[in-house]
Amino acid sequence: MTAFARGDLATAKRIVVKVGSSSISGDASWRIDMLADAIIEARSRGQEIILVSSGAIATAVSLMDLGGKPADLATQQAAAAVGQNVLLWRWQSSFDRFGVLAGQVLLTLSDMQNPTPRSNAHRAIDRMLTLGVLPIVNENDTVATHEIRFGDNDRLSALVAHLMRADALVLLSDISALYTAPPDREGSHPIDVIGPDDDLRQYEFGGKVVNSVGTGGAATKATAGRLAQEHGVGALVTSADNVSDALAGHSIGTWFPPVAGQHPRTETLSVILQDDNEEE
């Protein structure tokens, strides 16, 4: 059997698409229609799309006149409750143009760790897909605490891709690809492919916090790509503006070809879990 390649995204049966806060919040909210257009185009090819959308807290910041992302947990939870409502409304309003119904799925890390809620989440998302409903997944920030969070939606999307046996994961943000070092540094260049045996330590992905509205950055996308890769899921990292080309299988972004027929390597998963704990 031929390994799943980047070009196979155009014909993949099931794809998880993750979009970051900074790509759809505030002045960037216009991208929601663009992303919805690309998702509907993929669905017209018979593909199943699961959307993992950040942006609940970032959406609420301006609406609640908070003056910036709140630092205390209680205000973050309150903002998430407000922002999630508006965020889903914006997505649904966009998908209404095509007569497509979206459904909200909010998860916590404990949900994924516990077999019963994990099985329930799998069954519900799978049923939504068979009914033609577009699942929109996000972390349940209203009830999550610093101690029990995924750390970022990049990692959440990789776990959802594994849970739902997706063919591929597409991580969308502000960067067109992962770079060998910070893009503004002389000699830095985009990375086309990161293989399963490539040592991520040879690259300098920089800090995880990239702006005031989103957490993550290149480092978390690299670790999420590796996590998906080692679960047998191909992963692509690129810009949200490239979503149509990404889902059409064009040669863009940074590609993590999947490990076929292998279980994730324990040492890599340990590093990811350690990195998430340090971020908290």
Domain 6-213+233-279: which topology? Carbamate kinase (3.40.1160)
R_g of the chain computed on alpha carbons: 17
In the chain, where the domains are located: 6-213+233-279
Inter-residue contact 272 to 223 (CB < 8 Å): yes
Identify the pLDDT of residue 1. Answer: 56
Q: Which residues are annotated as a binding site?
A: 18, 54, 141, 153, 173-174
Tell me which of 76 and 212 has the higher pLDDT.
76
Give per-residue pLDDT as tens, 235-262.
Answer: 999 999 999 999 999 999 999 999 976 5
Tell me which of 275 and 132 has the higher pLDDT.
132
Helix axes 153-163, 115-130, angle to 10 degrees: 80
Q: Which residues are annotated as a binding site for substrate?
A: 54, 141, 153
Identify the pLDDT of residue 65. Answer: 86
3-state secondary structure of 88: helix
Give per-residue pLDDT as tens, 46-63.
Answer: 999 999 999 999 999 889
Mean of pLDDT values over 23-29? 91
Identify the pLDDT of residue 216. Answer: 56
- Residue 6 pLDDT > 60: yes
Inter-residue contact 36 to 23 (CB < 8 Å): no
User: Of all residues in the chain, what percent carry a pLDDT higher than 70?
Assistant: 86
Give per-residue pLDDT as tens, 97-119.
Answer: 999 999 999 998 888 889 999 99
Q: Which residues are annotated as a binding site for ATP?
A: 18, 173-174
Mean of pLDDT values over 221-231? 94
Q: What is the pTM of this model?
A: 0.88
Give per-residue pLDDT as tens, 141-178.
Answer: 888 766 446 667 899 999 999 999 999 999 998 889 99
Spell 218-239 as b/e; 16+ CB within 10 A means b: bbbbbbbbbbbbbbbbbbbbbb
Nearest to 271 by CA among 173, 195, 201, 202: 201
Identify the pLDDT of residue 276. Answer: 42
Please provide the average confidence, as pLDDT, over all residues in the chain.
Answer: 87
Identify the pLDDT of residue 173. Answer: 87
Q: 102-107 and 134-139: which strand pairing?
A: parallel
